[in-house]
Amino acid sequence: MKIFPLLLLAALFASCSKNSRIPDEYIPPPVDPAIRDGITRIGEDTLAFVLFAPGKKSVYLVGEFNDWKTLPQYQLRGDGDRFRIKLGGLDRNRSYVCQYLIDDKERVADPYASSVVERNANNNDPAMVVTLKPDGYQWKTNRFSAGNPERLVVYEILIRDFSAKRNIKGVQERLPYLKSLGVTAVELMPFNEFEGDDGWGYNPSFYFAPERSYGTSSEFKEFIDECHAAGIAVIMDLVLNHSYGQSPMVRMYRQADGTVAPDNPWYNVKSNFANPDAQWGYDFNHESPYTRAFVDSVCAYWMKEYRIDGFRFDFTKGFSNTPHPASGSDDWGSLYDAARIANLKRICDGVKKRNPDAIVIAEHLAENREEKELADYGLFLWGNLNYNVNEATMGWIDGDKSDFSSASYRQRGWNSPRLISYMESHDEERIMFKNKTWGNDSRKPDYNVQTLATALRRTEAAAVVFFSVPGPKMIWQFGEMGYDVSIDYGGRLGKKPILWEYLDEPERKALRDVFAAMTDLHVNDPLFSTASFAADLKSGFKSVVLTDGNRAAAAIANFDVNARTGKVAFGKTGKWTEYFSGAEITVGAPNEEVTLEAGEYRLYFK
């Protein structure tokens, strides 16, 4: 039995007999023009639907309530660039699946839908799920501060590959572990609705709906609430460079061959990157006022409805229409681009307007001039150290391959520590996989980087040096356990084994403990956020010396596969105590030589 909700035309329906027909020129009642785009509850049993669709001729609402038929009483009223309808008589205790039929040919869900489902097995016909009933989640933690963002330790998580449940509830169950590790923020890889149920999420389709394979809206809110209760901020990874073909904003304005039509309000007809490796999906036009309004509404929604603490914006080099060639110095958009800087500042302003303490992160990886300007404006920037760190842990230290220097915001000429540096992210091969596969074994069997114990110990050394450089840091999930499954296992985007049993292995547990010790110092000891530090990170023998008044610390490590002596700028003479062992040394000169065996590290305090 179908339930047919009534349009708000009480007089019309009261006068209709069983055999009467709706007038041919039926016009639905107007909707308040102040009601926002999307679906809005405007009464106990009434929803308003507003679709922004400039240039379209007709829009019908079709769904479970009218047997998916294009009935005249479900035609939306055209009002300039928008189409509007009010739907009453709805049962507040149930949900309805529906779509818009545009110009009698294209069926789409609302771009602002907060819940979507697929109508067929091919996952290519998304429909929106609408209801009058709120999710009913009652927030418990009403005041939360992320603390000093310049001391952040961010933990990047792919929900699918973090727990056996492969959903947000499974991540929530591991919050005690994350708390014990000392992280201050989790960065969830994209969890708004994306195409398919098995991937990384960088192929988004709907920006206001949580990915249904990961959990419900209430489950995501509970996770965020519990994070806040544990003192952990939640950062949302958002993909606003592009979206994919399920997006209703693509489907509404596409040509017969599937490409973007010239009249699309939100997308460029083609990407401005000639390099095909820098092109994904359909390219957003960030110069369009409609795209700008949409971006602002997406950020505002997640901050208000889910209390998200900030955003990591994917591939921000694409946030302009500046052409980039297919080869040469700018094939990845590395040269200075004033337009995208202006766009990113505008987005940052919109986020900060709603929450001045929000964390705004750009995966920019462009030329330093741009990144410094963005950092000065208040954005944080991703800082990829993977190649150089991994060359050091593998023991390949000739030339500049193992130079860590770019871990320091000061080395980049920045005025503030807004570089979120990382040794691994979802985009790179695992450090431990490369250690075990290609590590330096020239001293085999006396010293072989490819053995598990040695590889892990060298990763400990990298962590001690890495976390000693002032500025926020990021850990890619399980890096602290020495996860050594290749990024290409099961295909680059394929499911990876979830190996929490690593913690039962003493050598892996030791690595985790070093990470925890260093995150604790990084977050809680002001010495590790001092502006007075010296970093010598170019050679195989690396050191970071921190000073703050009468206190000082020195992190040193030898990434050679042989013993090595290096000069350390201790600055202060006298007794220094090693943090991990408690051993003492006497420093007799401001610059003193120290000898370390292959892969050894020390963290001294004065």
Which residues are 329's β-sheet partners? Answer: none
Which phi and psi (to 5°) does residue 69 adopt?
A: -105, 150
Which pLDDT belongs to residue 217? 97
331 near 341, Cβ under 8 Å? Answer: no
> Which of the four pLDDT bands, split at 50, 70 and 90, describes residue 124?
confident
Burial letters 60-78, b for 16+ CB under 10 A, else e? bbbbbbbeeeebebbbbee
Structure tokens at 337: 């681009």
Site of tokens 């997640």 = 302
Percent of all residues in the chain with a pLDDT value above 90, rounded to a whole number: 90
Q: Average pLDDT, stretch 47-57?
A: 97
3-class DSSP string for 515-551? HHHHHHHHHHCHHHHCCCEEEECCCCEEEEEEEECCE
Which pLDDT belongs to residue 34? 87
Q: Average pLDDT, stretch 359-380?
A: 97
What pTM, to 2 d.p., does this model score? Answer: 0.94
In whole angstroms, give the CA distance from residue 148 to residue 157: 21
Burial letters 319-350, b for 16+ CB under 10 A, else e? bbbbebeeeeebeebbeebeebbebbeebbeb
> Which of the four pLDDT bands, split at 50, 70 and 90, describes residue 583?
very high
Q: What is the pLDDT of residues 501-539, one digit of tens each?
A: 999 999 999 999 999 999 999 999 999 999 999 999 999
Among 556, 572, 574, 566, residue whose Cα is nearest residue 593: 566
pLDDT at 28 over 70: no
Among 408, 296, 393, residue whose Cα is nearest residue 353: 296
In whole angstroms, give the CA distance from residue 425 to residue 159: 14
Q: Average pLDDT, stretch 554-578?
A: 97
| Total residues found in the chain within this entry | 606
> Which of the four pLDDT bands, split at 50, 70 and 90, describes residue 33?
confident
Structure tokens at 212: 């249904």
409 near 401, Cβ under 8 Å? Answer: no
Over its C-alpha atoms, the chain yields an Rg (Å, rounded) of 28
pLDDT at 19 over 60: no
Which phi and psi (to 5°) does residue 171 adopt?
A: -65, -40
Element (H, E) at 40: strand 38-43
329 near 323, Cβ under 8 Å? Answer: no
Structure tokens at 453: 């114990």
Which pLDDT belongs to residue 67? 93
pLDDT at 18 over 60: no
Per 3-state DSSP, the chain is made up of helix, strand and coil in percentages (nearest 5) of: 25, 25, 50
Strands 116-118 and 82-88: unpaired
Percent of all residues in the chain with a pLDDT value above 70, rounded to a whole number: 95
Domains of the chain listed by start with CATH number = 6-131 (2.60.40.10), 149-384 (3.20.20.80)
Among 193, 183, 188, 154, residue whose Cα is nearest residue 171: 188
- Average pLDDT over the chain, rounded to an integer: 93
